[in-house]
Copies of this chain bind each other. A is one copy, B any other.
C-alpha cells in the first residue's frame, strides 16, 4: 500500500485512492487483465467506481510508462504491470495470455534497418503448456 503510493509517485502520478487500488490489482494479478476484469474486481472494493476512471487511470499509467498495453487480443486492450522484458503467448485453447521469456528488450533506442526502436512487443499464438498436457492425457486414455 505504502509501496504502491511510492510506485505512483516515482512516475509522477498523483496517488489517488482509485489509482492505488487499480495499481494494486495490476500488481497482484499477472493475468494481463482487460478493463472489464479490472472494473469487476475493483467494484468489490469500490462499488461506486466508474469504468471511465479505470480507462483514465490506465491511460495515465501507460503514458507515464508504468504499465504496458498489449493488443494481442483484437477485441480489447490488455494491461501488463510486469517490468522485466518479456513477450506474450495467446493460447488459442484456453484464451490465457502467458509471459514468454525469450531474449528481447523493451530497448530504449535500438536501431534496426535505420529505424529508431523504442519499444518491442512479441506476440506468439499457439497452444500453452497446460493445454498441451491436457490434450495428451485425453489421447492416452
Q: Chain A: residues with CB nearer than 8 A to chain B?
A: 69, 71-74, 77, 89, 91-92, 98, 100-102, 112-129, 132
B71 touches A100 (CB 8 A): no
A100 to chain B, nearest CB (A): 6
Interface of A is mostly: strand
Copies in the complex: 2
A115 touches B120 (CB 8 A): no
Closest partner residue, chain B, to A132 (CB atom): B116
B126 touches A116 (CB 8 A): yes
7 contacts between A and B (CB under 8 A): A71-B74, A100-B113, A115-B128, A117-B126, A120-B122, A121-B123, A121-B125
A127 touches B121 (CB 8 A): no
